Structure 1
Amino acid sequence: MEANAGDLLPKHLASIESVMIVLEGECVLALAGTEHVLKQGDSFIVPPEIEHQIRAIEDFKAIHVMTKDIEFKFFE
């Protein structure tokens, strides 16, 4: 996944946990009322069925590892 500084990715939840690994830059992961700042080299396990959203603080790239049968629900 990639985002430019200031981008706000859609709020969503997933049916299965996943792992995000930040390769470049910095972002904020808003999850369950808490904001987690993630920087290059950080990883985070995203639990299932919890609404979350990512905001890019600076241009960033990450790998998001998940199973092929994961399902997403997006919110406006």
Structure 2
Amino acid sequence: MAATPRPQVTELEQGEVFETKRMEAIEGVQWPPHKASHESVLVVTEGRLTVEYPDAQPVVQAGESIVIPADTWHEIVPDPAFSAIHIMPKGIRFTFSA
């Protein structure tokens, strides 16, 4: 049985208040539904992604960014592939659905 492809997350920089990570995924790979304790920003550097909220599905492409609100369930879905920088406060906590 083949393993399910997983998104790639690479730590980049850490400051006193913020940290950054590179997020990359291809078609068929997505993060499970989750929410975070603080808002964060995704800056898409290549490709395109969809952020699936319960009531909206904004598409974000290279050169664009999106603020992910705190305590809001969402999924990140490649459309069909993307690379992005995730900017978030240090100490952010993520809750994943079962």
TM-score, structure 1 length as denominator?
A: 0.93
Give, as a single letter, the amino acid of the residue that structure 1 aligns with 2:61. Answer: K
- State the secondary structure of the residue aligned to 1:34: coil
1:50 to 60, 72, 75: 72
Gaps of 5+ in 2: 1-22
Aligned residues: 76
The CA RMSD over aligned residues, in Å, is: 1.0
8 A Cα contact 1:6 1:57, kept in partner: no
- State the secondary structure of the residue aligned to 1:50: coil
Q: Distance in 2 between matches of 1:46 and 1:59?
A: 19
Deviation by residue 1:38-61 (Cα, 9 ceiling, x = unmatched): 110110011100001011112210
Tell me the residue number matched to 1:8.
Answer: 30
Moved over 2 A (4+): none
More contact order relative to length (CA 8 Å, sep ≥ 6): 1
Q: Distance in 2 between matches of 1:61 and 1:21?
A: 9
Instruction: Report deviation, 1:36.
Output: 0.5
Give, as a single letter, the amino acid of the residue that structure 2 aligns with 1:55. Answer: V
8 A Cα contact 1:28 1:55, kept in partner: yes
Q: Distance in 2 between matches of 1:72 and 1:66?
A: 11
Instruction: Report deviation, 1:7.
Output: 1.6
TM-score, structure 2 length as denominator?
A: 0.73
Counterpart check, 1:75 vs 2:97? yes
Query: How high is the sequence identity, in percent, across the aligned residues?
Result: 38
Structure number with greater Rg is 2
Deviation by residue 1:16-71 (Cα, 9 ceiling, x = unmatched): 00000000011110124100011101100111000010111122100000011100
